[in-house]
Amino acid sequence: MLRRRVVEAVLEQIPYLEKEMLVLRRLISPGDVCFDVGAAGGTYTWLLSRYSSPGGAVLSFEPRPRSARAIERFRRLAGMGNVSVHQVGFAEQKKSVTVLIPTWRGLRFTTRAFIAPDDEAEVPEGFTDLRPLTIRLTTLDEFVASAGVERIDFLKADVEGAELSLLEGAQASIERWHPTVLLEIEDRHLGRYGQRATDVVEFMADRGYRMLTFSDGELRPAIEVVANENNYLFLRST
């Protein structure tokens, strides 16, 4: 038990690594179709590629051009033949939006980027500036239809507060295939859009999902989003 806690604590301190990665092997089977939405550095994409092989497919989504190119290079170097990279983001409708990227002394921190809800967005604490980037969004349901996707078994999303928007645009796919869903949920990010963590939890509960968290090597039922947990797993109730 102590060893598990140490490993989980170390993972949480390394960029792009999270303790929830330790449970992916239990959730993904060979042949699964997995979506990595907000792929950032591509770490989840790599793990999903490993665990869904042979026979599976991973669709990695990253709307920021530089990050998408980096994931594509990573895909080729790592020999991830079952991965495809898509430079697009998801929302409740098709549109283009301005994303604000926090900077510190001229360095862009794309992992903290967020959609600008108005003209008065505040610079996050510890940063010095915000730089705009226009990105293309569609709905996950529209992408599925246009790309001929036949099912989704696992959906991971880290979209910095736009979780409910993503889910609303994925409603048909979720209700059709009931994928396992892993979401980063934080009130501080959702608040930028006038939403709350309870809105996301209720959306999933209305579709027959139960919420869990991962700690001490175990998946545990959760009834609410709390400050010391960022990632939440949703499983379809039987």
pLDDT per residue as tens, the chain (238 positions): 434 443 334 334 344 556 778 889 899 999 999 999 999 889 999 999 999 999 999 999 999 888 899 999 999 999 999 999 999 999 999 998 888 888 887 777 776 777 766 656 778 777 888 888 888 899 999 999 999 999 999 999 998 888 999 999 999 999 999 999 999 999 888 887 889 999 999 999 999 999 999 887 788 999 999 988 889 999 998 6
Q: Is 229 contained in some domain?
A: yes
* Angstrom distance (rounded) from CA 13 to CA 178: 32
Q: What does the pLDDT read at residue 187?
A: 87
The residue assigned the tokens 């108005």 is: 118
Q: Is 95 contained in some domain?
A: no
Q: Which residues pair with 100 in a beta bridge?
A: 114, 132
Q: Is 125 contained in some domain?
A: no
Q: What does the pLDDT read at residue 17?
A: 54
* Angstrom distance (rounded) from CA 93 to CA 138: 6
* Angstrom distance (rounded) from CA 49 to CA 33: 10
Q: What does the pLDDT read at residue 120?
A: 65
| Domain of residue 145, residue span | 2-90+138-236
Q: What does the pLDDT read at residue 12?
A: 45
Contacts of 43 (CB under 8 A, 6+ apart): 16, 17, 21
Task: Give the CATH number of the domain where residue 80 resides.
Answer: 3.40.50.150
Q: Is 129 contained in some domain?
A: no
Picking from 190, 177, 212, the residue whose alpha carbon sits closest to that of residue 32 is: 177
Find the DSSP H helices in 80-196: 140-147, 163-168, 171-177, 187-190
Count structural domains, the chain.
1
Relative to beta strand 180-184, strand 209-215 is unpaired
Q: Is 13 contained in some domain?
A: yes
Q: Is 116 contained in some domain?
A: no
Is residue 217 a contact partner of residue 4, using CB atoms and an 8 Å limit? yes
**Reported pTM:** 0.86
Q: Is 216 contained in some domain?
A: yes
Q: What does the pLDDT read at residue 105?
A: 77
Q: Is 127 contained in some domain?
A: no
Neighbours of 118 (CB within 10 A): 6
